[in-house]
Structure 1
Amino acid sequence: MAFSRPAPLREELARALPDRPFEVAFWDGSTLPATNGSSLTTFRVKSPTALAHALRAPGQLGLGRAYVSGALDVDDIDAAIDVLDTWKPPALDTSAKLKLAAAALRSTGFIAPPKPPQAELVPQGRRHSIERDKAAVRHHYDVSNEYFSLFLDDTMTYSCAIFSRGAKTLEEAQWTKRELVCTKLGLKAGERVLDVGCGWGAFAIHAAKEHGVHVTGITLSEPQAQEARKRAEAAGVSDQIEIKVMDWRELDAEPFDAISSIGMVEHVGSGNIDNYVAALYDFLKPGGRLLNHGIGRLRWNDPEAGPFSERYVFPDGAPLHVSRILQAVEKSGLEPTHVEGFRTDYAETLKHWADRFDANLPRAIELGGEERVRVWRLYLRTARRGFETGFLSVFQVLATRPS
C-alpha cells in the first residue's frame, strides 16, 4: 500500500497549534518540531491508520484506538502524560476543526475505515445487569493469573496498599492494608466473614490465618477462584475458606458477622449502589460490621470514566463519590462509624505496579499480547496521575448494622 504524504496535516497543525512543547514525527520521516526549542516528548504517527482512527471516532476514543493498535506511539509515556496534563492548547473554533479534519483526510489518501483493536470491549445488554457485569469483569481479569503476578505482590493483592503507616516495600504495605481491614472489622476467632470481590484470596487467607475466622469469598472470575483455592490450601487454611464464582446478587447464605468489600464497589455503578449496600445489610447479623474499601471521585464536575477506560480497562467501571457511598449506607439502615482516605497511598501503590510491569514486559506481551500491554502501561500511569492530582482517592468506610 502506498501511503500518502502527511504534509497537509503537518502544515495545518502548525497553524492550529502555534505553541507546542512536543514534537510530532510522521510515517514518512518528516516532523513537526516543538516551538519552545526543547521537545518534552515526541508523538509518533506511525501510519495513516492513526489519522483514520481519529477521524472515525474524534476525541479520546479515536486516539486511544490509534495508540492501542500501535499506529500512534510516544517515546516516553510519563512525559506525554505530563504534557497532556499541563499544556493548554488553544481553543479551536468549528472552522479550525474542519480544516484539521480535511487536512487529515488529504494526508491519509484512500484508506478503509480501520476496525477497533481486538483489546476493545463494547459491553452488550442492560448496563450493570448480571450478565453484562460478568462480561465486563472477565474482560479485565481473565487474561491469566500469571499476567497479574508480573506486577502484584506475592499475595496477589489487587487494591491500594498502605505505605503511610511505615511500610517500605509493596509486600509490607499490602500486609498493612489487609491487617488494617481486619482490625477495623474487629474480627474474632470463629466468626463468619463474607469477602465480596475476593480476587485471588489474599484478604480471605490473611483473615483466616491471622484471626481464625471462616471466610466465604465470591468472585466473577473462575481463574481467580481456582488460584484462590490453591493458595488457601498452600497456606493451610482451606478448611476455613470457601470460594464461590457468582455475582453478589446470586448469593444465598446465612448472615455473616462481618463483610469486607475491597475494590468491588467501583464495579457496582451509581444505579445499583443502593441495592448493593442494602444486600450487604441483609447479609449481616444484627451488630455485624461492614468495611467498604473503594476508589472514589473527588470532583463533582468530572464524569465517572472516560471512553478509553470504558472500552479498554474497566468497562462500566464507576468510581462514586464517598458521599454517595455514605448515602447508600445510611439508606440501607447501616450506621457509618468511620471514614478514612488513602489517596497518596494508592499513588505509591500504582508506581510500584507500573515499575514491576515494565520490568516484565516481554513476558507480559507473551501472555496478553501487545495491544493489552499498551493499554496496561497507560492505565497504570494515568490512574496514578489521577490520585496524585486529586481527581481520585480511595476510601475505607466502616459501618455497623444496629443490634
Structure 2
Amino acid sequence: MAFSRPAPLREELQRALPDRPFEIAFWDGSTLPPTNGASQTTFRVKSPTALAHALRAPGQLGIGRAYVSGALDVDDLDATLELLDSWQPPSLDTKQKARLAAAAVRSTGLVAPPKPPAAELRPRGQRHSILRDKAAVRHHYDVSNDYFALFLDDSMTYSCAIFSRGAKTLEEAQFVKRELICTKLGLKTGERILDVGCGWGAFAVHAAVEHGVHVTGITLSEPQAQRARQRAVDAGVADRVEIKVMDWRELHAEPFDAISSIGMVEHVGSGNIDNYARALQRFLKPGGRLLNHGIARLRHTDPEAGPFSERFVFPDAAPLHLSRICFAMEGAGLEVTHVEGFREDYAETLRHWSRKFDDNLPEAIALGGEERVRVWRLYLRAARRGFESGFLSVFQVLATRAS
C-alpha cells in the first residue's frame, strides 16, 4: 500500500506545538521548521510506521519503539536528550489529542499496527521471581562477550569506575575501584569471599591475585561465567576462583569472611530488598564484612524506571533509594559503618563507554544488530545524563555482621 502524505499530521502538529525549538522532517521530504529560528535537533520521521508505533503505545514506549525500529531518527542524540530535559511540551486538551490522532491515522495510510522491535523484551511471570529475573538478566547480557568488550575496559568491569582519586584512563579507574572495595573490606590472605553478580570475573580475579583470597562468584549468565573462569585460568588463580551460574536465592554455602555485591542491588527490586539483605547477612560469618556497590535514585518523586528501560535495556531493574538499602541492611542485623557516593565518577565512566562504543559501531552492528545498537547508543547517553542531572547516583555501603 502506498504511503499517504504527512500533510494532515504536519498541519495539526503546527497548531498543537506553537513553540518548537526543533525541526521535524517527514518521509516525503517535507519539514515542520522550528519556531525559534535555530533548531536544537531534527526529528526524522522516516516512515509512517513511526506514527503507527506512537498510536499503538502513546508516550515513551511508542516513541522508543519507533526509534529502535529505525522508523524515527534524530541527527544528534546528545542534543535531543538535552532538549527533552529542558523543553516542556504544551498541555493538550481532549479535542486537540483527538485531532492529532485522526491526522496521524490519515498520514499512515492505514498501515497495520506494527509489531514491537525484536530488541524489546516483555517479561513474563511474577516480577522478580527466579525464572523472570534470569530471563531479564540474560536479555541484557547474553548478546555476546565480544559485544561488551567493544566499550568496556580490558578487565570487562561493567560498573562505575573511579576517576576522582587520580586515575586518567578507564583501565586505571576500574583498577582503583576494585582495589578500593578490597581495601574497604579489609581482605586478608586465605579468606573466603562471595562476589554476588560477579559478571565477567573482574573483581573476583583482582581480589584473588592482589590479596590472596578465595572467591566464589555467582552470575545468571553462562557466557559471563565462561569468560570469568577463563580469566581466572589466565591469571593463574583458577584454584582460588570458583564461578557458579545461579541466582542468589539458590546459593547454599558455608558463611564467608566478606561479601562484595557490585552492580547487583539495582536488579533486586523493592519487594526483594529485605530478603536480599537477610540472605547476605546469613552468608556472612559473625564479624564478616559486606560492601554493596550499587545505583540508587536520589529524588523520592521520580519513578523507578521508564518504559524504554523496562522493555529494552534492564527489564525489571529498579534503582532504590540509599535510605531503603540501608534500612534493609539494618533490618537484617547488619551495621552500616561507611557510605560513599560516586555520582560524577559514573557520569565520567559512561562518557568513556559511549565514546568507545561509537568508535566500534560497525563491529557492534555485526555482533548485535542495528536495533540493539540503537538501544545502547541511547541507553549509555541517557544513563550519563541521569547521573549528571541528579536523578541517579552510585553508592558504596560498607556494613558488618555483629559478632
The alignment's TM-score, normalised by the length of structure 1, stands at 1.00
Q: 1:88 offset after TM fit, Å?
A: 1.6
How far apart in 2 are the matches of 1:400 and 1:220? 26
How far apart in 1 are the matches of 2:123 and 2:281? 29
Q: Where in structure 2 are the equivalents of 1:186-265 lying within 5 Å?
A: 186-265=186-265
Corresponding residue for residue 101 of structure 1: 101
Secondary structure at the counterpart of residue 372 of structure 2: helix
Q: Which amino acid aligns with 1:289?
A: R
- 82-91 or 322-331, which deviates more: 82-91
Equivalenced residues, count = 403
The gaps in structure 2 that reach 5 residues or longer are none
Secondary structure at the counterpart of residue 239 of structure 1: coil
Corresponding residue for residue 369 of structure 2: 369
1:358 maps to 2:324: no
Q: Does the aligned pair in 1 maintain the 2:2–2:109 contact within 8 Å?
A: no
Q: Where in structure 2 are the equivalents of 1:235-314 lying within 5 Å?
A: 235-314=235-314
Secondary structure at the counterpart of residue 259 of structure 1: strand
Q: Which amino acid aligns with 1:251?
A: L
How far apart in 2 are the matches of 1:318 and 1:271? 10
Corresponding residue for residue 41 of structure 1: 41
Identical-residue share of aligned pairs (%): 82
Q: Where in structure 2 are the equivalents of 1:4-23 lying within 5 Å?
A: 4-23=4-23
Q: Which amino acid aligns with 2:136?
A: A
Q: 1:90 offset after TM fit, Å?
A: 1.3
The gaps in structure 1 that reach 5 residues or longer are none
Q: 1:92 offset after TM fit, Å?
A: 1.4
How far apart in 2 are the matches of 1:102 and 1:391? 36
**For each residue in 1:121-146, what CA deviation from the matched residue of structure 2 results, as whole angstroms up to 9, or x when unmatched?**
00000000000000000000000000
1:182 maps to 2:182: yes
Corresponding residue for residue 156 of structure 1: 156
RMSD: 0.5
Secondary structure at the counterpart of residue 396 of structure 2: strand
How far apart in 1 are the matches of 2:110 and 2:55? 13
Corresponding residue for residue 381 of structure 1: 381
How far apart in 1 are the matches of 2:151 and 2:360? 8
Q: Which amino acid aligns with 1:146?
A: D
Q: 1:234 offset after TM fit, Å?
A: 0.4
How far apart in 2 are the matches of 1:224 and 1:110? 45
How far apart in 2 are the matches of 1:326 and 1:59? 34
How far apart in 1 are the matches of 2:295 and 2:61? 23
How far apart in 2 are the matches of 1:252 and 1:402? 21
Secondary structure at the counterpart of residue 55 of structure 1: helix
How far apart in 2 are the matches of 1:91 and 1:110? 27
Q: 1:210 offset after TM fit, Å?
A: 0.5
Secondary structure at the counterpart of residue 39 of structure 2: coil
The alignment's TM-score, normalised by the length of structure 2, stands at 1.00
- 390-399 or 104-113, which deviates more: 104-113
Secondary structure at the counterpart of residue 126 of structure 2: coil
Corresponding residue for residue 76 of structure 1: 76
How far apart in 2 are the matches of 1:273 and 1:197? 15
How far apart in 1 are the matches of 2:98 and 2:303? 27
Q: 1:322 offset after TM fit, Å?
A: 0.3
Q: Following superposition, which runs of at least 4 residues in structure 1 exceed 3 angstroms of deviation?
A: none
How far apart in 2 are the matches of 1:171 and 1:101? 50
Q: 1:77 offset after TM fit, Å?
A: 0.5
Q: 1:110 offset after TM fit, Å?
A: 1.5
Secondary structure at the counterpart of residue 239 of structure 2: helix
Corresponding residue for residue 32 of structure 1: 32
Q: Which amino acid aligns with 1:36?
A: N
How far apart in 1 are the matches of 2:78 and 2:97? 28
**For each residue in 1:225-265, what CA deviation from the matched residue of structure 2 results, as whole angstroms up to 9, or x when unmatched?**
00000011001111110000000000010000000000000
Corresponding residue for residue 336 of structure 2: 336
Q: Which amino acid aligns with 2:147?
A: Y
Q: Does the aligned pair in 1 maintain the 2:161–2:174 contact within 8 Å?
A: yes
Q: 1:102 offset after TM fit, Å?
A: 1.0
**For each residue in 1:271-318, what CA deviation from the matched residue of structure 2 results, as whole angstroms up to 9, or x when unmatched?**
000000100000000000000000000010111000100000000000
Q: Does the aligned pair in 1 maintain the 2:217–2:241 contact within 8 Å?
A: yes
Secondary structure at the counterpart of residue 19 of structure 1: coil
How far apart in 2 are the matches of 1:111 and 1:377? 28
How far apart in 2 are the matches of 1:346 and 1:94? 42
Q: Which amino acid aligns with 2:358?
A: D
Q: 1:160 offset after TM fit, Å?
A: 0.2
How far apart in 1 are the matches of 2:164 and 2:94? 48
**For each residue in 1:25-78, what CA deviation from the matched residue of structure 2 results, as whole angstroms up to 9, or x when unmatched?**
000000000111111110000000000000000000000000000000001100
Q: Which amino acid aligns with 1:20?
A: R
Q: Which amino acid aligns with 1:349?
A: T
